[in-house]
Amino acid sequence: MSVRRKGRFVGRFILALAAFSAVFPFLWTALNAFKNRVDIVTPTPLFFFTPTLDNFAYVLGRGSVFQGLTNSLVISGSAVAIGAILGLPAAYALARYPGKWAKDIQFFVLSLRFLPPVAVAIPLMVIWLELGLYDTRLSMIVTYTLLTLATVIWLSVPAFQRVPREVEEAARVDGYGPYAIFFRIALPIASRSLIGAIAFSFVLVWNEFLIALMLTTSDAKTLPIVASELTQLGRDVPWGILNASVVLLSIPPLLLIGILSGMLNSAFRRKN
Amino acid sequence: MKSVTALLSGAALVCLVSGAMPLAASAAECSGTIKVLAQPRDGLTLLDKYRDEFAKLSGGANFQIDYLNENDRRAKTKADASTIGRYNVYYIDEANVALFASSGWVAPLLDYYPKDYDYNDFDPGRRAVATYDGKVWFAPLTGGGDLMVYRKDLLEAAGIQPPRTLDDYIAAVKKLNQPDKGIYGTALRGQRGSGANVWRWMPFFKGFGGQWFDGNTPVFDSDAAVKATETYLELFKYSAPGTQTGSWDEAVGAFTSGQVAMLTESTPLVGMALDPKQSQVSDKIGYLPPPSPLTGGGYGHGLAIGTKANKDEVSKQCAGLFIAWATSKENEQRRLEEHQFSELNRSSVFASKKFAELYGPDLGQALADTGKVTAVNFWQSPLWPELGDRWGIILEELVTGTRTDIKGGLDELNDFAKQLVARGQ
Amino acid sequence: MKHKSTLPAVFLSPALLILAVLALVPTVFAVFISFQDRELSRPDGRFVGLDNYLALFSDRRFVNAIGVSLTWEVLTVGLTLLVALLIGILMFEYAGPRWRSALSLMFLTPVILPRVSAAFVWKFAFHPLYGIITWPYKAITGQPLDLLSDPATALGTVALVDIWQWGLFFAVIVLKLLETLPPQPFEAARLDHARTWQVYAYVAIPMLKAPLISLAFVKMVESLRAFDLIYVMTRGGPGITTETLDMYAFSQGFIESGRISYASGMAVLMMIATSIVFTVIWKRTRA
C-alpha cells in the first residue's frame, strides 16, 4: 500500500503546485502594484515592503486610462447587449424548432470562430476607413457584435435544450402562445446558464486585443490597448504603474469568475 | 473627462477668458485638448506641472500626451497619420521626417511657430536634421551624435589608454571583458529596428566607406557592409546579457549599473552616466569622440504639426503654439534645473552658466569635438524606415544566431530594396 | 402544427442577417483587396491579379511564419491536453469534493485573465534581472537567464503561458467529464487488480474519447489566437523565430509597411486553410 500512499503524496503535491502556479503569478503582480519602483527592481524578490497607492493613483489619474476604461465599458457593454437581445431568441429558435437547416445554421455560427481575427481585422480596417468610421466606438461595437452574437447563440442553444419540454408543453396547454412561452417560461428557467453565456461573451470582448489594436488609434482605444501601451513604454520602465494597470484591466473578468464556473457546472451536470 | 472638457469649452467663452490675460499671445484663441503622440521623455513629463501656464498662454487649451516606446511610437505615428490622423502633434525624428513631410502628414513648422520663441536658437545640428526639402518640420526635443564612454577605473586597472582607433577599441573591449567578475567589454543594440540595432551598426558601415544608394540603385551590398557586420558581430561576443534583443535602454542600463567597461552610444548617455541619481558609476567615467573611422550617428527628435487633425489654420496655430511653448527657453531651463541633460537643445542653454556649473567645460568640448565626426548615416528617403526595419530583422537574426550567412542576408536586403524602390514609384 | 409559428423566422432572421453581413462583407472585401496593390497611405490601388499570392510564396518570412504557426498549434494543443488530462485525473483521484471546487475556481483564473495581462505577468516573471522565475537560477549560478531572447527557448516560453491558461481550464473540464462517468467500470477494473494509471488509460480515457476530441478541436481553433501573447512578449523576435502568421500579417498590413493588400492575401490564405481544415475535422468527428 505504500506505493499507493506515495502516489497520493506525489499527486497532491503536483496539484498544489498547479494551484500555486495558477494563482501566484497574478497575486505577485497585484503585490507589485503596491510597491515603489525601488522595491520591485531588486536583485532578490521582496515580500515585505511599505505599500503605496501611488501606482493606482497615477494609473486612474491618467486621461488615457480613464478614456480606455470608458471605451471598454461602452463598447463591450453595447456589443454584449446587442448580442444578447438578438442572440437569445435566435438560440431558442434553433433549440426548439430544429428544422432541417438548424444544424447548418449552428455550424455557420460556429465556423465564424474559425476565421483568424487578423483576417477579419484587415478588411474591416479598410471598410471603416472608407466609411469614415475608423477609430470610433460605433465601428468597434458593430465589429464586436460579430463576436458576441455568435458566442451567445452558440452557448445558449444547449441551455435552452436543457429546459424540460414538459414544462413548455404544460404552458401551451394553459394557453400560452409560442412567444409567451419563450419570455415567461424558457427564459426564466434557463436564466442561470444564459447569464453564464452572456458573461462569457463579455469576457471575450473585454479581453479582445488584435482587432482593437488594428481598428483604433486614439479615440476608441480600449483598455487592453492602453494597458499594453503602458507595458511597452521601455524607457525607465515604471514597473509599479505597469503592474497596477494590469491589475485594473483584469478586475472585471475576475469578478465574473463565479458566474462562469456556475455555467461550467450546469453544462456538465445533466449528462449521465 | 477630456471629452467633457472639450465639449464644455465653447470658443466664445474661451475668448472672454483670454481677453483678460494681457500676457497671452495675440493668436491665443485655442480651446479643447491638443492630442500629442510621443515617446516618453523626461522633458515632456515635466510639462505636466505647468499645464496652467499653457492654459493661460493659449487661452484655455489643454494637452494630452500619449506615450509609446521608440519602435512603437514610429509605427503608431505612421499608422495614425496615414489613416485617420487623430493627433494634433506628432513626435517625429530624423529617420522619418522625410516620410512625414513628403506624404503631407505634417505641416511646415515655421509657418505656425511664433517668432518670439526664436527657432534659430536651437543647436545647428538639430536644426539640420529637422530640415527636409528646404523646410523645417519639427522643433527638437533631443538629439546629438555619438560619444565613446568608458570606465576610467577599469581601463587604468588594465593598463589601457582610452582608444582612439577602432582596432585599439576592439582590442580593449576584448581585454576588459570579464564576465566572471560581472563586467562585460561593451554593450551594443541587438533589437530590430532602423533606430535600434541598425542605428548602432551604421557607424561601422559608413566608417568603412559604405553607401546606401546611388540614385535609385541600391549599392549597399558591398564589402564595407560585410566587414561592418562582421565587426559588429565580433564585438557582440563581449556585449552585456540582455542586449542581444535590447536597445538603448538595455545598453544604458547595463552601463549605468556598472556592468560594462566601454561603449559608443548616443550623446545623452554621458549626461545620464554623470548623474548620480541615475548612475552607479557617475564618478568613474570618461568620454571621447567615437574611435576612428566610426562616424557619429547624427540624430534629432522633436514635435511636428499634424495636418489631418488640425483641419483649419487656427488649430494648426494652436498646435504650433504648443510646440513652441514645449520647446521654449523657459522649459529648457526647467529641464536643466532637473538635470535632464538629454532634453537640452538650445545654444543659449548650452552656453549658460548653469550648464557649465553642472557638467563642466569638458563635456562642452567633447560635444563640440564629436560634432566634427557626426554624419547622416542613414538613407535620406521616405522609404528609409521600411528598408532600415527590414535590415534590422536580418541583423537581429545574425546577432541571436538564427542566421549565420552575412552575405546572404545582404543579398536578401538588396532584393527587398529593389522591390521597395519599384513599389514606391 | 407548432412548426407553423412565426417564431423561428422572427427570432432567427435579424441575428442571422447581421451575422451574415458582418462575416461575409469583410471576407469578400479581403479577397477583393488581395488582388490589388493598396497601401494604407495609398488607398487607391490598382488590380494586380495574383501578384500578391505569387510574391507570398517566395517570401521567406511568410514561409517561416507558416512553420512557426504550425509548431505553435502542435505544441499548444498537445501540451494543453496533456496537462489537462494529468491535472484533471489527479483532481479526480486525490481531491475531495471541497478541494475539487476550490481547485476548479483557482484553475479558472488564468483563462479569464485578459491575454494582455497574462502575457505581461509572465513576461515580467521571466525578466532576466527582476523576474521571480529567473531569480532562483540567477541566485544559484550568478548568470542571468533570458529565455525570451534566446531563439531556442522563446517560442516555448510563450507557449507555456498559453498552456498555463488553457491546460488548467481544460483540467477542470476533464474533471467534470470524469464525474459524469458511471462508477461501475472503474470498480470492475479495480477488482481485476488494474493499476491506477491502467484504469484511466484503458477505461476512462477511451470512454471520454468523443468529448476529448471536441476539446482538442476547441483548442485548435483557440490556438489561432496566439497574437496577444506574442505581441506583448516577443513581437515575433528574436529575429523571426516567434513570428506567427497573424503576427506577420499584422506587421505587414499595419505596423511595418501598411501593405494591406499583401497582408490581405495572407489573411485570405489563412482563412481558406482554417475553414477547410476545421470543417473537415468537425464533420469527421461528428460523423
Classify the C-alpha dihedral B309-B311-B316-B322 as positive or negative: negative
Residue B228: pLDDT band by 50, 70, 90 thresholds?
A: very high
Do A220 and A263 lie in one domain? The reply is: yes
CA distance B245 to chain C (A): 6
Classify the C-alpha dihedral C20-C22-C25-C30 as positive or negative: negative
Q: Beta strands B213-214 and B217-218: pairing type?
A: antiparallel
pLDDT of residue B322: 95
CA distance A219 to chain B (A): 8
Separation of alpha carbons C27 and C264, rounded Å:
10
Do A72 and A24 lie in one domain? The reply is: no
Do A10 and A96 lie in one domain? The reply is: no
Average pLDDT over residues C217-222: 90
Residue B335: pLDDT band by 50, 70, 90 thresholds?
A: very high
Q: How far apart, in Å, do the first and last CA atoms of chain C sit?
A: 31
Q: List domains and CATH numbers for chain C.
A: 51-286 (1.10.3720.10)
Average pLDDT over residues A28-51: 80
pLDDT tops 60 at residue B9? no
> A209 with A224: CB under 8 angstroms?
yes
Separation of alpha carbons B30 and B57, rounded Å:
9
pLDDT of residue C133: 87
Ramachandran area for residue B93 (φ above 0: left; ψ -120 to 50: alpha; else beta): beta
Separation of alpha carbons A146 and A132, rounded Å:
20
Average model confidence (pLDDT) for chain C? Answer: 89
Q: Which residues of A touch B249 (CB under 8 A)?
A: 234-237
Residue B425: pLDDT band by 50, 70, 90 thresholds?
A: low
Classify the C-alpha dihedral B243-B246-B248-B252 as positive or negative: negative
Do A66 and A27 lie in one domain? The reply is: no
Do A9 and A71 lie in one domain? The reply is: no
Helix crossing, A117-131 with C260-286: angle to 10°? 130
Do A235 and A162 lie in one domain? The reply is: yes
Separation of alpha carbons B224 and C122, rounded Å:
42
Do A93 and A227 lie in one domain? The reply is: yes
Do A171 and A246 lie in one domain? The reply is: yes
CA distance A50 to chain B (A): 22
Residue A133 belongs to a domain? yes
Angle among Cα A123, A124, A127 to the nearest 5 degrees reads 90
Residue A40 belongs to a domain? no
pLDDT tops 60 at residue A221? yes
The answer for B 10-69 residues in CB contact with A (under 8 A) is 35, 37, 39-41, 64, 66-69
User: With pLDDT > 70 as the criterion, what percentage of chain B qualifies?
Assistant: 93
Do A17 and A99 lie in one domain? The reply is: no
Q: Is the pTM of this model over 0.95?
A: no
pLDDT of residue A44: 73
Instruction: For chain C, list the contacting chains (3+ Cβ pairs, <8 Å).
Output: A, B
Pick the range with the lowest mean pLDDT from A46-55, B151-160, B176-185, C83-92.
A46-55
How many Cα atoms sit within 13 Å of C273 on the Cβ side?
A: 15
Pick the range with the lowest mean pLDDT from A43-57, A125-139, A227-241.
A227-241
Residue A215 belongs to a domain? yes
Cβ–Cβ of C105/A149 closer than 8 Å? no
Average pLDDT over residues B401-410: 92
Q: Which residues of B touch C128 (CB under 8 A)?
A: 241-242
Residue A161 belongs to a domain? yes
Do A25 and A141 lie in one domain? The reply is: no
Separation of alpha carbons A128 and B80, rounded Å:
14
Q: Which residues pair with B186 in a beta bridge?
A: B239
Closest by Cβ to A15, choosing from C95, C221, C232 = C95
Q: B407 to each of A160, B234, B411, C58, C60, how far by Cα in Å?
A: 64, 16, 6, 19, 16
Q: Testing the interface with A: which of C35, C72, C99, C112 to mutate, by most A Cβ within 10 A?
A: C112
Do A25 and A69 lie in one domain? The reply is: no
Residue A109 belongs to a domain? yes
Concatenating the DSSP letter of every residue in C76-131 gives: HHHHHHHHHHHHHHHHHHH--HHHHHHHHHHHHHHHHS-HHHHHHHHHHHT-TTT-
Q: Testing the interface with A: which of B64, B84, B87 to mutate, by most A Cβ within 10 A?
A: B84
Closest by Cβ to B401, choosing from C128, C144, C151 = C151
Q: Which residues contact B264 (CB under 8 A, 6 or more apart)?
A: B146, B147, B148, B149, B169, B200, B203, B290, B291, B294
How long a stretch of residues is chain C?
Answer: 287
Residue A236: pLDDT band by 50, 70, 90 thresholds?
A: low
Question: Which residue in this structure is represented by grid cell 482593437?
Answer: A212
Q: How many helices (H) and strands (E) does chain B have?
A: 19, 15
Structure-block grid coordinates of residue B220? 549597399
Q: Beta strands B146-151 and B139-144: pairing type?
A: unpaired
Average pLDDT over residues B171-193: 92
**Beta strands per DSSP E along A154-231:** none
pLDDT in tens, B139-166: 999 998 999 999 999 999 999 999 999 9
Cα B1 vs. chain centroid, distance in angstroms?
32
Total domain count, chain A? 2
How long a stretch of residues is chain A?
Answer: 272
Do A70 and A23 lie in one domain? The reply is: no
pLDDT tops 60 at residue A156? yes
Residue A172 belongs to a domain? yes
CA distance B400 to chain C (A): 7
pLDDT, greater one: B250 or C14? C14
Separation of alpha carbons C142 and A207, rounded Å:
38
Separation of alpha carbons B269 and C278, rounded Å:
54
Average pLDDT over residues B210-218: 91
Separation of alpha carbons A55 and A173, rounded Å:
62
Angle among Cα B98, B99, B104 to the nearest 5 degrees reads 100
Cα B241 vs. chain centroid, distance in angstroms?
24
pLDDT, greater one: B272 or B203? B203
Average model confidence (pLDDT) for chain A? Answer: 87
Residue A55 belongs to a domain? no
pLDDT tops 90 at residue C82? yes
pLDDT tops 50 at residue B10? no
DSSP character for A142? H
Q: Which domain holds residue A253?
A: 62-269
DSSP character for C36? B
Separation of alpha carbons B93 and B385, rounded Å:
11
Q: List domains and CATH numbers for chain B.
A: 2-142+299-351 (3.40.190.10), 146-297+362-424 (3.40.190.10)
pLDDT tops 60 at residue A119? yes
Q: Which residues pair with B303 in a beta bridge?
A: B91, B139
Average pLDDT over residues A148-160: 93
Of A145-159, A216-230, C33-47, which has the strongest mean pLDDT?
A145-159
pLDDT, greater one: A208 or B242? A208
pLDDT tops 60 at residue B4? no
Residue A119 belongs to a domain? yes
Pick the range with the lowest mean pLDDT from A108-117, A248-257, B80-89, C142-151.
C142-151
